Structure 1
Amino acid sequence: MSSSYQNRQQRWIKWVMSLKRLWEFAWKGGLTLLIPLLLMIGWYAWHASKFDLSETSRMPERTVLLDRNGIEIGTIHGANRRLVEFEEIPTFLKICLFAREDARFMDHEGVDFWGLARATLRNAKDLDFTQGASTLSMQLARNTFDLREKKSLNRKFLEIAITYRIESKFSKSEILTAYLNRIYFGSGFNGIEEASLNYFGRPTSRLTKGQCALLVGIIRAPHACSPWRNLEGAVRQRDEVLDRLITTEVITPEQADAIKSQTLDLRNPNAGDLETDHGTRVLRRPLEIVLNETQITTGGLEVITSIDFQLQRKLEKLVQETSIPDGCQMASIAIDPRNGDLLGVVGCREKKPTGFNRALDSHRDLGPLMIEPLIGTIALERGHLPIVGNPVATGRQLQAQDAIQLLKRFGFEGTFGKGEDLYRGTLSVSPLELAIAYATLLQNGSRPMPVFVRELIQKERTLFSRPAASFPAFADHSRLKKIPDFISGLSLPGTDHWAASLSPEKVIVVWIGYDNPKPFNLSLRESQRLKADLLRIAR
């Protein structure tokens, strides 16, 4: 055997041995790396399992208040958010969102590895976490579970683990809907519906293409690019979204120009809201009685109230525009005598009401003209005839204590005057109590129970329903032969001016006076104007 052949054979053997050693090293090294990798994956999977995934679709939203005719009068409780269904999201908004935030949303399983690799290279180049490559699913995980520590590998790995759990439990449409309902759009608006209603005055389902592109554009910087705060910046973000659609050949440059030329129809942030502050505020009290703490915090309820939105606005205008002495206050309340529905409540002259509601909580003396029909009714109850125009003479036919007990049947709970002063109207009542008393007259002695909340609905399921109720306060023979359609008068000291209109469909009571009682005069012209306004509103 030649020496050259032996040399070749030795080199072959060395090469095989080297290859074998390399394989053993790679296998052992790979196994060494695989074990901690599996342990790390297991740790993050275990940590992610602690999170309740139902939180992704469960989020606090506003409780919506509807008037008796189904008109929205305001929102209270919960977060500043309203939820939408997947079917309400415009197709163009989804297209914009995918192009801007997550082009492979429908294809990946929660993590876009191509985007993650690209972001990793960029971060390595910048020596910082300048890019995150978060998919919509990852953003949903981060926003739902408040993973807001500074960008780090720990946060990213935990976010990925939770994301895989979300993707395994929910469909793509459920994830997309939860994402749009949860994220912040600036100016205090959480979720796409709240942003759409406030920025553009229309629901999500009716957004134009330009409005869709703008809302998607401001997601990355909702505070800095809020259209109410920085319209130029918001428009610039809209244009970037449309340019991205051109790049991906979803739309043509001509189509993008047409969308950019559309008016945004942005609402004026200083414009008055449709809702009535007086009506919304007064409903907080009964709702806090009906609702438990969880329902108040979580919101998301639909409340059908007794309020008549149009009448409420008319009463607010009446109270705010009636000419009265400086420093005087005014309150008004309306009730449907047939079922006790409180149709409107205005507790003060101010447009933004305070905590004290004079229509419900203030108790002031009536006066002889205002109490006369009530004294006539209790006299008839005891078989005596009312003496028209003279409530004191009518009252003399009754025992004082018996008269007080009979007046309590109207629902009065205040201080009752002594002797004949009682029949002159020295009786402390609230506007609400007086409205109920006059409603009792119209209902032949049947006192209606006042109602603020008719029905409480959650997810199309009725939680609470309040039927009409009444109390038989007086017998049929107690009915007055003639019930006036308008009554007005002063208390004995001249510190309180009252007016009321009475009709089968509504009783409206108005009170005017100083919070610290002192006499005042309401001009004849204003008294006549008040009467005309009340009778007009009552029609």
Structure 2
Amino acid sequence: MFSRTVRRRIKKILLWLEIALIVLLGAAVGIVAGAIYQLSKTLPPEQILASYRPPEGTTVWSSDGVLLAKLTTEYREPVKLEKIPQHLQDAVIAIEDARFYQHSGFDLKGLFRALVQNLRGGDLTGQGGSTITQQLARNIYLTQQKTLARKIKEILLAVQIERKWTKRQILETYLNQVYFGSGAYGVQAAARVYFGKDVGELTLAEAATLAGLPQRPSELSPYTALERDGNLDRTIHRRNVVLQRMVETGKITPAEAQRAMQEPLRLAHRSSPQLGGYLRAKHFADYVVSYLRGKYGEDRVFKGGLKVVTTLNYKMQRAAEAAAREAYRRYGRSYGFSEVALVAIDPHTGYIRAMVGSVHEPYRQHQFNCAVQAIRQPGSAFKFFVYATALEKGWHLGRTVSGYVRPIRDGDKWWSPGGVGNRGTYSLIGAFAASINGAAVNLAMQVGLDDVVEMAYRLGIKQRLLAVPSLALGSCGVTPLEMASAFGVVPANGRRAEPLAVLTVTDSDGTLLESNKPLVRDLKLSPRTIDGLIRLTRAVVTSGTGRRAGVVPNAHGKTGTTNDNTDVWFVGFTPELATAVWVGNRDNTPMRSASFGGTVAAPIWADFMREAIRLAPKRRLPELPRGLRVTEAQPRERTEGDARETLRVRVCVESQELARRACPAVETKEYLRGQQPTGYCTLHGRPPPRDEPPPDDP
């Protein structure tokens, strides 16, 4: 035995060791406490916790209720907890956090239980050690890095969430937040992606399948299993693990589990479907999204849960796409074109009803929208603005204009328009229907090139125009949307509706952020101008270069072909719709010599319009006010002065020139002496004009 002195020394040593140990432990606790305190200061404020909502993508819809685009960084469709079936809630809790309703955010007992179960099963990833609240904290506010600091933050944040939220709030948020693989976030998105149904319709077996995915979503996804293994064995095994765990927690009976295990796994798709982005009418959807980004910003568009209702009619859109793509498939190679653009608007409201920006897929390789971004020369379709200017200045349809143009000096060169028929004299309606280039140039110079430019701007052209003689033949650049809008002024009786793509925008709470009404402006055009344009564009279809559009009831329009056949157009309207069709090559490669607006673009226009006008409310074209209407003269007593001032002549209804026997419709009109037509009808007294003589494009 030790002596008393030795024992005293040992006691002193032990006392100092105890004191040192206490000091060290205190220091360690202090360090850990300080570290935890410092980490706690990096946690999000409590007000952010209280106001958290899972990010939700923006949806873009057609006016007839078809989803066009889903814009999101995460495909998610949040639902209330009461909409989620109880067996899905039970399945998730059973496999992820069986003591969810007992712990306060961190469950040490559950952690050891999961570890023991995984060791017994030989699968260390079988059951998770983190509680549902910890997973929620990690998914919302933290990174996925596996570090001690992140784990401490996760526990602290989970406890903080448990103090602020109810268990129902935590579970609902988790079920709407967690990732289920194949791009699906939340149970509603997962139900649609994997089973093509609403979450409330899931069977017990389907619910167990989904509950098993969040632990390793990329690996356990059924679509991943099919692609990698060629079977669903991995997913089915995980489903059965979930069902067995539900039996152990008393949520289902062994018999219910056995029946669910026998149920085949029927997926909605063979592979992971496209969940977001532009789904339909992709160029139109991109046109809308460009507007939304500019107004609401990128973050709100992709995370704000906006619902956007557009003006597009999807049935019309399908008809437009079918017409454009069928034409490209059948005639693209023979005519030598690679692209088609089509845009249709309601002329009375400006609503864009259909838009084809390209005939090619996939969209990511053909994003350029030729309907609104392609600035192309309109060729003879621009004559619409020349003749509109003349009519507004008081010219009548029977007034004649020469097709011959004296060569015009252009710098050190001389220019004159090409095409056929430039040696004759024509009435306005005859020259327009036959698309006589010389007549259009002469008319533009007589009414004033500056006034033609002003008229084009007035009707809706926004591109820069030069007041030069070749402008009459479309030497400028325009877009199909501009042309459709401009021609739409006629059926709208002189009113121009600004093209409109978005009707309403609401946020995720249903609050209305934006409601757009038609922006319509009266251009104060003369009723005789509108009536004249109706007659001019109708003559093109019945007897002129656009006869292939005549299969559409009440069709009106104008063809256009540029030099070397690089661009061909047909722009026209019915009482219900105004539509522009452009065909060509984006690199300006010329098409075949037989490619004209009347032979290539007009049939596409007709194919679309025949279907589209069936879907639009029926309307009538404007008529001259009764006081301005010229009808067959009624017998009345005349004075000597009357006889000297007016005279009555029989004219062709279409050409407004002196009637021939071949004219199908004739009317008697009264004119002031000297203003009556002097030439006979050029539409019905000679062979019909070619579909479209190519104008010379300087």
TM-score by length of 2: 0.66
Inter-CA distance 309–268: structure 2 relative to 1 (3 Å threshold): farther
Q: 1:390 aligns with which of 423, 428, 431?
A: 431
One-letter amino acid of the counterpart of residue 292, structure 1: G
Partner of 1:5 in structure 2? none
For 1:34 and 1:191, locate their aligned partners in 2 and report how far apart those are by CA, in whole Å.
45
Deviations 1:227-281 (A, max 9, x none): 1110412222222212222333422344334434255242233767864433322
User: Is it true that 1:339 corresponds to 2:380 in the alignment?
Assistant: no
1:358 aligns with 2:370: yes
Q: What are the equivalent positions in structure 2 for 1:83-482 lying under 5 Å apart?
A: 83-118=78-113, 133-150=129-146, 152=148, 154-231=149-226, 232=232, 233-260=234-261, 261-269=263-271, 275-322=280-327, 323-326=330-333, 328-353=338-363, 354-368=366-380, 370-386=381-397, 387-391=428-432, 392=440, 395=444, 397-414=446-463, 416=465, 420-458=469-507, 459-477=509-527, 478-481=529-532, 482=534
Structure 1 partner of 2:609: 535
Partner of 2:39: 47
* Aligned partners of 1:86 and 1:177 also within 8 Å: yes
Q: CA deviation at 1:283?
A: 2.0
Tell which deviates more after alignment, 247-256 or 399-408: 247-256
Tell me the SS of whatever aligns to 1:250.
coil
| Matched AA of 1:148 | Q
Aligned equivalents of 1:124, 1:209: Cα separation in 2 = 28
Offset of residue 97 of structure 1:
0.5
- Kindly indicate whether the alpha-carbon contact (under 8 Å) linking 1:365 and 1:496 is maintained by their aligned counterparts in 2: yes
Query: Retained in 1: the 8 A contact 2:193–2:272?
Result: no
Give the gaps of 5 or more residues in structure 1. 1-24
Cα deviation digits, residues 136-189 of structure 1 (max 9, x gap): 00111122222433254x543332211110011111122112212222222233
Q: Percent identity?
A: 28
- Greater gyration radius: 2
8 Å CA contact retained: 2:55, 2:304: yes
C-alpha displacement at 1:221, in angstroms?
Answer: 1.1
CA apart distance, 1:94: 0.3
| CA gap 1:204/1:37 in 2 versus in 1, 3 angstroms | farther
Q: Tell me the CA shift for residue 122 of structure 1.
A: 8.5
The runs of 5 or more residues in structure 2 that have no matched partner are 1-16, 227-231, 398-427, 433-439, 539-554, 614-698
CA distance in 1, matches of 2:526, 2:504: 32
Separation of aligned partners in 1, 2:568 and 2:357? 15
**Which residue does the alignment assign to 2:542?**
none
Q: Is the 8 A contact 1:83 1:181 kept in 2?
A: yes
CA-atom RMSD in angstroms: 3.5
> Is 1:496 matched with 2:567?
yes
Distance in structure 1 (CA, Å) of the matches to 2:111 and 2:30: 20
Distance 1:295 1:531, change over 3 A: closer
CA change 1:182–1:120 in 2 (3 A) is same
Following superposition, the deviation at residue 193 of structure 1 comes to 2.9
Check the 8 A contact 2:281/2:356 in 1, yes or no.
no
Relative to structure 1, is the Cα distance of residues 291 and 486 closer, same or farther in structure 2, using a 3 angstrom cutoff?
A: same
Q: CA deviation at 1:319?
A: 2.1
Structure 2 distance, partners of 1:270, 1:117, is 36
SS in structure 1 of the partner of residue 76 of structure 2 = coil
Structure 1 419/57 Cα, relative in aligned 2: closer, same or farther at 3 Å? closer
Check conservation: 1:185, 1:219, Cα contact below 8 A: yes
2: CA distance between counterparts of 1:138 and 1:405? 68
The structure-2 alpha-carbon separation of the partners of 1:133 and 1:34, relative to structure 1 and needing over 3 Å to count, comes to farther
Following the alignment from structure 1 to structure 2, what is the Cα–Cα distance between the partners of residues 447 and 419? 26
Which letter does structure 1 place at the counterpart of 2:307? Answer: E
Q: Give the SS at the match of 1:475.
A: coil
Pick one of 577, 583, 587 that aligns with 1:512. 583
Which deviations, in whole Å up to 9, do the C-alpha atoms of 1:125-146 show, x marking residues without a partner?
A: 9xxx978621100111122222
Letter in 2 for 1:461: T
TM-score computed with the length of structure 1 as normaliser: 0.84
Q: Offset of 1:501 from its aligned partner?
A: 4.7
- Kept after mapping to 2: 8 A contact 1:286/1:452: no
| Alpha-carbon offset, residue 320 of structure 1 | 2.1
